[in-house]
């Protein structure tokens, strides 16, 4: 099964596949020298319209799936930035020296979370591993502060926000892994190839080759499929989940 990862490679693969399907449909009609009755031509036209309608429906369905997942990733990123900011504010409720250590850990943590979106997967994986270690250190500091039992309510507020911070790390990973199934893309290419074959077959029945017109549908479909893949792969391509909320939170944490 073809692995849909790089949008550029997907565009050229789908565009080439649809061009070949169009040419095969054209040659099939020319080879058979079809001279069909009006009723048969009407039936073929109806089938071609049905295939194109099914293709449009599946394209819209796939785009909707990818767009919904993209919006979910943006929302989870915003929630995580807010959770980090809230935890940073509530660190003031901790006694010393835990407060100072937690401050340093949180400032390092948000830098690591921003690095997680690096295009280099090795650096991103290292950032995720480092983030998990910092979470353990933060929890250890919360346990130490709680053991003092001087301000249990204040420490409890900090622990609550820290728990949300840790949970949102896993939610963001799940959101990144929740992608449009590759079987949907395979089905999409299959139906698009059938539609391209039918378009070429219609041109062949008229014994006229429309070069630019025949390439228009494959080109547009390939563009849409590549964009869906780009939208569905936030760590690759051109469409990426913005880090503005994380950057603003980090700026607030660095301010005096």
Q: What is the pLDDT of residues 158-216, one digit of tens each?
A: 889 999 999 998 898 888 888 888 888 889 999 999 988 888 877 776 666 666 767 88
Alpha helices in 149-242 (DSSP H): 152-177, 182-205, 211-232
Nearest to 55 by CA among 202, 150, 190, 191: 191
CA distance 38 to 54: 24
How many CB atoms lie under 10 A from the CB of residue 227?
18
Task: Tell me if 4 sits within 8 A of 62, measured CB to CB.
Answer: no
pTM of the complete model: 0.78
List pLDDT tens digits, range 77-100: 999 999 999 999 988 888 888 889
């Amino acid at each position: 099964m073809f692995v849909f990862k790089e949008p550029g490679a997907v565009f050229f693969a789908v565009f080439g596949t649809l061009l070949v399907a169009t040419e095969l449909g054209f040659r099939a009609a020319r080879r058979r020298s079809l001279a069909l009755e009006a009723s048969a031509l009407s039936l073929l036209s109806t089938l071609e319209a049905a295939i194109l309608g099914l293709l449009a429906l599946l394209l819209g369905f796939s785009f909707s799936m990818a767009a919904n997942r993209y919006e979910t990733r943006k929302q989870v990123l915003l929630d995580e930035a807010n959770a980090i900011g809230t935890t940073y504010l509530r660190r003031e409720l901790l006694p010393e020296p835990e407060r100072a250590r937690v401050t340093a850990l949180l400032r390092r943590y948000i830098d690591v979370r921003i690095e997680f979106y690096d295009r280099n997967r090795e650096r991103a994986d290292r950032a995720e591993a480092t983030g998990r270690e910092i979470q353990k250190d933060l929890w250890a500091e919360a346990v130490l502060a709680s053991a003092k039992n001087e301000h249990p309510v204040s420490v409890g507020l900090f622990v609550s926000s820290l728990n949300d911070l840790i949970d949102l790390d896993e939610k963001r990973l799940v959101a990144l892994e929740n992608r449009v199934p590759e079987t949907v893309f395979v089905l999409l290419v299959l139906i698009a190839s059938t539609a391209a074959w039918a378009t070429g077959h219609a041109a062949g029945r008229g014994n006229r080759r429309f070069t630019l017109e025949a390439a228009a549908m494959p080109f547009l479909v390939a563009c849409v499929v590549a964009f869906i893949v780009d939208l569905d792969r936030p760590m690759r391509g051109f469409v990426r989940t913005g880090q503005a909320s994380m950057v603003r939170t980090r700026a607030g944490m660095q301010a005096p």
